[in-house]
Amino acid sequence: MINIIYLDNSATTNITQPVLDAMLPYLTTQYYNPSSLYSPSRKVHNDIEQARETIAKAINAKPNEIYFTSGGSESNNWVISNFLSVLTSNIEHHSILNAPNTFNAIKVNQNGIVDNLDNIEALIRGYTAKLVSVMYVNNEIGTIQPIKQIAEICHKNKVLFHTDAVQAYGSVKIDVKELNVDFLSLSGHKFHAPKYTGILYIKEGKNLLPLIYGGKQEFGKRGGTENVASIIGMAKAMELYNYDIEKTLRVSNMRDKLLNIIQSNVPDIIVNGDMKNKVCGNLNISFKGLEAESLSLQLDMDDICVSAGSACNSGSLDPSHVIKAINVPDEYAYGTIRISINEFNTNEEIEYAGNKIVETINRLRFMNK
């Protein structure tokens, strides 16, 4: 019997055993409210601050620059809600694009890369933007944006810069000082931490209004009792699953093996995104004449999990805004799936999945004749 082959790691990841082990005491014996004054509570409070230090070290930040949130969408919303006019790219996550104060005027090229950097200055002036937000890694096609260069342009024009790095952690190096970003969002469940955990990095000296008024948690910016176990788990995950070149090469090899199986046996496909400038585990392919939903459901019957677009867009039958932005022709766009591999996948899984994908596509195309 074939176990489920999970190839949708951009949607979410599993909590690993070491992460779960780190969390369990705070769900059982160390359940104390970290704001209370007695010694067991003070210990829990100290453990939260130690987690904050671990997380800060992982991205080369200071502990007082790390704010715990419920995830990437909350972190993104916290930042952009503080500005009247926010300039973004046209391939951002919906938590940014759907905000009423964002203008997705920064266009990407056909490979999904922001390459017309000279135009950003003119757009900043045209939209009188006080914040620019461009994601580090796209959640659908995996492309990596020139964040450092964009941040330099913003600061030259006295504008702050935010990046949604939810898809980046563990796949690319994140050094907030080197990137020189003012704000950066992360989401724990993308790197083997629990769901409903996130981080907002706020550069020292930059100020945002409180997100939740109440107690003095998160330096008085986000009131409410902390989600202690999940914070501890997130810190452990960041410690264990940071960017590693050997892991990156192994995942890249599996992705390339899968792509080779498909390209060698299936005609009329488009591989989306810049294969030389994307994260190692991402493979986004458009198949001519197919519907992504039918393909993903057929693969599900073979215990293979892939995504039709992104998890955040799974309820729509239309091609995503990202696929439209890179001008994939309609006859291909409707047949777009995202495959996302990580270090816990195996070569055996990749070979099995590749052969099943080929078999399923050829069967669906035959049925559509």
154 belongs to the catalytic site = no
Reading the block at residue 341, the tokens are 């591999």
Of 256, 293, 250, residue with least CA distance to 271: 256
- Minimal CA–CA distance to 233: which of 205, 185, 192? 192
CA angle 262, 114, 286 (to 5 degrees): 20
Could you give phi then psi for residue 297, rounded to 5 degrees? -70, -40
Q: What residues contact 327, with CB distance under 8 A and at least 6 apart?
A: 110
Answer for the pair 141, 322: CB distance below 8 angstroms, yes or no. Answer: yes
Residues 6 or more apart whose CB falls under 8 angstroms from that of 275 comprise none
User: How many CB atoms lie under 10 A from the CB of residue 180?
Assistant: 15
The contacts of residue 293 (CB under 8 Å, 6+ apart) are 308, 317
Rounded-to-integer distance, Cα 202 and Cα 250, Å? 33
| Strand boundaries in the chain, DSSP class E | 5-6, 66-69, 86-89, 102-106, 131-133, 160-164, 183-187, 198-202, 269-272, 282-287, 304-305, 336-340
Neighbours of 318 (CB within 10 A): 11
Q: Which residues are catalytic?
A: 312
